[in-house]
Amino acid sequence: MDGTTREHINPANPSQMIGYTVPAIAEEVNEAVKHAKSAFSQWKQLSPVERGEVLRKAADILEAQSQDIAETATKEMGKRLIEMKGEVLRGASILRYYAQEGMRKLGEVLPSANSQNTLYSVRVPLGVISVITPWNFPVAIPIWKIAPALVYGNTVVWKPSQETGITAVKIASVFEQAGLPPGVLNLLNGSGEIVGNALVEHPETAAITFTGSNRVGRELASKAVAQNKKYQLELGGKNPVIVLEDADLDLAAKLTVEGAMKQTGQRCTATSRVYVEQSIYDPFIEKLLGHTALIKVGDGLNEAVTMGPVASKKQFDTVTSYIRKGLEEGAEILYGGNALYDPVYHGGYFIEPTIFGQVTNEMTIAREEIFGPVLAVIKVAGYNEALAQANDTIYGLSASLFTTNLNKAFDFIKNSEVGMVQINGETGGAEPQAPFGGMKESSSGTREQGQAAMEFFTAYKTVSLTTSL
């Protein structure tokens, strides 16, 4: 390559290059924002119903191209094809949901103290939105940001993760094929240091929506505040499961493993800690290890595989360093813990599903987000201790409780310090119509998806119309 391109390799087989992208430079950021600003003046004039029709067409096109897009993403970041296909179809569902949102009310008529006044409020678009997305959900996360931004009348400049730039090109093409006018959606591949910072600092961008690391999120928020820009952050998680002695242990073990190991643990909502009452600790561990043993690691394109590689060499190094840290701090590996170097793995970034026992709440593996197939099991005396330890974290995204006790279930719903609560379900999972987001350092407070998205992507305009002078 000539130094101006970025190679994209298959994390299941790093000797296989699947393509390349051309990173944008600062001047191209200016051009993209200029195009978005120009397109905004026309796009906002369309009715939300007309804008929604473009999203509906995009949903149909995305669904028709789901196999190709899913295969591309699997090769690019390693997620199993069946999981990636489900994500693409989820993207189509999100587009259809927001197409219908274009038919909902955007304001309300209010009573006025003056009988000659008509007083009402209406939601209006913000302008050019900077959308910055991660690699772990290369289709769903961009779409659940872009779709509401567009239907409410904004234009978008989108910077995807460098790890999934080829997939991003295919997603942008879907919108183009659906008839989205030029300049309404602008894709810029490139680094956060160059493209991301330029978007945040550009005087013509009105708001920033970001999903990624807490470190980058804090830096972004500081820059946004300095410019009085609206910002939305969805950040990390350290999601706990609590298993009580009255729970269905087989169900709890199965869903805990799925929550921890699905998509190779590379989800902000992945299960990372499980608190188990001491009276059922041993039988639960037996079931947990039994379900873990069923996992088959390999290339995500192989239908027999149930867990793919981590997304990159950088992620591989991060996850293996946490496994070493767990051992150094005195935790015991109950299952896995090894990188897989056998020739059958082609030098790919494969790590066994890993379960730690003898973990305390002060250990690094119980406190920091790992973003890989690693689960820490912690023994507790009872529910109150489990709840206190589950809440003892800077994060607050998702949490699960397995129990048949309704009193404890409702207590957990009330007192778990997270944005999303599951009772007898895994920590992951979100539906397009439901608000998505966390508390504490997992979120800046606003919510994505559902009708809650309107709160971020629009502003109120209040109108007082006097009909008689």
**What residue segments make up the domains of the chain, in order of their start?**
6-235+444-466, 239-423
Kindly state the tokens that stand for 305: 């595989």
Q: Tell me the three state secondary structure of residue 79.
A: coil
Q: Which CATH superfamily is domain 239-423 in?
A: Aldehyde Dehydrogenase; Chain A, domain 2 (3.40.309.10)
Q: Are 166 and 18 in contact (CB under 8 A)?
A: yes
Tell me if residue 234 is catalytic. yes
Q: Evaluate whether 274 touches 376 at the Cβ level (below 8 Å).
A: yes
Can you give the pTM of this predicted structure?
0.96
- Give the residue ranges of DSSP H helices in 227-306: 249-261, 281-292
pLDDT value, residue 343: 83
Strands 117-125 and 458-466: antiparallel
Catalytic member of 83, 234, 258, 369: 234
Do 377 and 257 form a contact (C-beta atoms < 8 A)? no
Q: At 204, is the secondary structure helix, strand, or coil?
A: coil
pLDDT of the residue at 1? 34
The CATH number of 6-235+444-466 is which of 3.60.20.10, 3.40.605.10, 3.40.50.300, 3.90.180.10?
3.40.605.10
Q: What is the DSSP string of 6-40?
A: EEEEETTEEEEEEEEE----HHHHHHHHHHHHHHH
Tell me the mean pLDDT per 10 residues along the chain, length 469: 76 95 94 98 98 98 98 97 98 98 95 94 98 98 98 98 97 98 98 94 97 96 96 97 98 98 97 98 98 97 96 97 98 97 89 98 98 98 98 98 98 98 94 96 95 97 88
What's the confidence (pLDDT) of residue 3?
A: 45
Which CA distances in Å does 366 have to 149, 326, 335, 374, 385?
36, 9, 17, 10, 15
Extract the tokens encoding 208.
């920033």
CA distances to 87, 263, 298, 301, 342 from 79, rounded to whole Å, are 10, 6, 10, 9, 20
Find tokens 């690019």 and name the residue. 76
Does 6-235+444-466 match 239-423 in CATH topology? no
